[in-house]
Chains A and B, each alone.
Chain A
C-alpha cells in the first residue's frame, strides 16, 4: 500500500480531499528549489512587514 492509501481509511473526514502529488511533496524538501523559495518568501514577507509599519 502506498503511504497515502495507508492513511486514508473509510469514513474519515479526509477521504474526499485532494492530496499533493509525489512531485509536489518532493519539491517541498528539495534543497535547491527551497533555496529559491527561501529568497522569494523572505522578500514577500519583507514587503508585508514594511507595509504594516
Chain B
C-alpha cells in the first residue's frame, strides 16, 4: 500500500524510533508499504518514520535491488566526504552534508537474523547515514552549521508553508511585565536621591525598604516574564522577537540595572 510521506513542517519526523523486536508479517507489511511508497514517489531510500512508523527500519534500492536494514547501528566509520543530499522531507532542497565514505554496520534482516556489513560504496554509505539520522530523531539539517540551517528553514518558510496563525503578534501581554519592571526600576533609582532631602531617619528607612522590595520584585517579575515568554514562543514558532535570545537580553538588561542600583544604594544610602 502506498503511504503518505511526511513533509516539512510535519514534526512527527523528529520522533526517535524503537528497535523492532518481533519479526512477523506485520513487519513485512510495513516493509512492503515502504517499497510501494518508494516506487510511487520514485525514491531510492526510505526510513519507516518517513511514513510515520516509529521503528528502526530502512529500505534502500541499490542497483535496482531492495535492501532492508532493521535495527541498524553504525559501529565504525572511515574517511570523510561531502555528500550532496536531498530528501523528500524537505522538498526541492539540496545540501552538501559531511558524511563518512565507508561505514561498518550491524543490522537484522526481516527474519531477525543479525548481519554485519562493511559499506564502502560512497552513495550507499551516505544514504544509510542519512536514513539512520532519521531513526534517532534527527534530519540532515542537524549536521549543518546553524546559519545555513536557518537559511534553509527560511527558504522553506517563504515557500508559503508557514501557517497564518504563526505570524508574530505585534503586541503581547509579556510587554506588561517589562513595562511594570521598568517603572519599579525608575522608582528605585529615585530613592537614591533621598539623602538630598531633609526627611527624617524613619522616612529614609522606609524608602530604603520600599526600594529593596522593588528590586526583588523586578527579579521575580523577570523570572515570570521568562516563563511566559517561553510559553508564548512555543505558540509562535516563526516569530523572531519571541526568540529566547531576545528574551534573555531583556532579562539580562534588567538584572544588570538591579545590580547597579543595589550597589549604588549600598554606597549612597549605606
Of the stretches B16-24, B33-41, B176-184, B247-255, the one at the interface is: B247-255
CB distance from B234 to the nearest CB of A (A): 15
* B78–A11 touching, CB < 8 Å: yes
CA distance A13 to B251 in the complex (A): 39
What chain A residues lie within 8 Å of B226 (beta carbons)? 36
- Tell whether A15 pairs with B142 under 8 Å between CB atoms, given A32-B252, A32-B255, A36-B223: no
CB distance from A29 to the nearest CB of B (A): 14
Q: Is B129 an interface residue (CB 8 A)?
A: yes
Residue total for B at the interface (Cβ-Cβ under 8 A): 19
CA distance A15 to B99 in the complex (A): 8
Residue total for A at the interface (Cβ-Cβ under 8 A): 13
Question: Residue of B at shortest CB range from A23?
Answer: B245
Q: Is B80 an interface residue (CB 8 A)?
A: yes
What chain A residues lie within 8 Å of B248 (beta carbons)? 27, 33
What chain B residues lie within 8 Å of A16 (beta carbons)? 80, 97-100, 129, 143
* A10–B245 touching, CB < 8 Å: no
CA distance A11 to B142 in the complex (A): 20
CA distance A44 to B146 in the complex (A): 29
Q: Is B79 an interface residue (CB 8 A)?
A: yes
CA distance A33 to B251 in the complex (A): 10
CB distance from A35 to the nearest CB of B (A): 9
Contacts from B to A (Cβ < 8 Å): 77-80, 97-100, 129, 142-143, 146, 223, 226, 245, 248, 251-252, 255
Q: Which 6 residue pairs spanning A and B have beta carbons closest together?
A: A18-B142, A16-B98, A21-B146, A13-B77, A16-B143, A15-B80
